[in-house]
Amino acid sequence: MNAIQFTVEPSEELQGNLRVPGDKSISHRAIMLGAIAEGVTEVTGFLAGADTLATLAAFQAMAVPIQGPQAGKVVIQGVGLQGLKAPTVPLDLGNSGTSMRLMAGLMAGQKFSVEMTGDASLSRRPMKRVTEPLAAMGADIQSSAQGTPPLRIRGNPPLKGIEYQMPMASAQVKSALLLAGLYTHATTCIVEPAPTRDHTERMLRGFGCEVKEEAGKICLRGGQRLQGHAIDVPADISSAAFFIVGACIAQRGKVRLQHVGMNPTRTGILAILRQMGADIRVYQERQVSGEPVADIEVCSSQLHGIEIPPALVPLAIDEFPALFIAAACAQGTTILTGAEELRVKESDRIQVMAEGLTQLGVVTQPTTDGIIIEGIQRFGGGKVHSHGDHRVAMAFSMAALRAQGSILIEDCANVATSFPNFVALAQQVGLKLSVQQ
């Protein structure tokens, strides 16, 4: 599987209208909350990628009737808070850290025991940030000696509500604790050091749950019942990010991205690029299923290096591979700090991106919590290794828009986890990308 390679030839044009696939974060949560709701939840715009399909399969293994996905539509027959059944085998969540961490919270409240496993990459990812606060709530949860998967969760614990001060901003930790909080007879509160994506809170409210939020403190009363309803998943801004950066750096760039999720906890990439001088315009702002949505138009831009404001880092954490490509094309120096989270994603994104940029002739200086990138006008050609990280592979694909020679990107199979039709859409708007197996 990992033998898939991308070859991208130099090109100066990226133009067209696109709708990228549905938001991965929202697609995961729609399955999870729809499964424990009462009644039917119909989801449209669902992302049928490997990660979200792993979540879907896990709930089917716990006896939740789910139809689809068929052309982005999924129908979930909710079984209620107490309706999940013990799976007969470990739940294999593939490459999906979101599935593992959020489901740890949900599984902590079940009457049955469960084991959750993943692929080699997921099996290296840290889980203590979730397992330790869940244990403080009373969960009986075990990981490897290194704090990594597999996770084994013993059923029927008496969970209690806690107030948890998160040591670092993490939407996945916050969401796991809120989901566990549904299974308590008390109130669970989480205090964030900085705002993180709030899809879980918005979606819980859509299912009829009361979630209170004030001054960075989010509180949920346990035992609330969820009611199934319709969810329209907007296009994923994390997937749009590659085309946003591509249009900025292309000689002839003009891309319009339709129906993009504009959740303010996710739009850090737009704020950062605008500070760098990007020509980005937003049209037709509207609300869909409790989430803000808009169309985004991006044109060729003269970017300049900046010191990225720390407050924007959590709001763009998944978009930094693409932003590093933008920084490498900007005039001057770009400095990122406060992003140590990037070292424990699907790969060490700071190190992997630095190595790839170096291969293409960019001067970089990785630091413990970030990177310094010296902008250049043109990349050289060369070979880069994505280390199985889908976002790294897609980011370097866009580098060809400023390259003097072809770029070979190795280990690209996991692009399917978040963006199944990336290659087709990239080719549609002018990227000269081919796939070898």
Query: Which residues carry out catalysis?
Result: 318
Integer Cα distance of 200 and 179 in angstroms: 9
CB 212 within 8 A of CB 184: no
- Which residues face 44 on adjacent strands? 232
CA-nearest of 329, 141, 162 to 248 is 329
Facing residues of 75 across strands?
Answer: 42, 67
25 within 8 A of 197, measured Cβ to Cβ: yes
Tell me the C-alpha distance between 370 and 247, whole Å: 25
> How many angstroms separate the CA atoms of 296 and 126, rounded?
35
How far apart CA 35 and CA 39 sit, in angstroms, is 9
- Three-state DSSP string of 234-268: CECHHHHHHHHHHHHHCCEEEEEEEEEECCCCCCH
Residue 340, CA distances (Å) to 166, 344, 367, 371 in order: 15, 8, 9, 10
How many C-beta atoms surround the C-beta of residue 163 within 10 A?
11
Rounded CA separation 12/356 (Å):
21
**Interatomic CA distance for residues 289 and 242, integer angstroms:** 25
Give me 355's structure tokens: 């190595």
Sorted by sequence, the CB contacts under 8 Å of residue 30 that are 6+ apart come out as: 41, 43, 46, 74, 76, 203, 231, 233
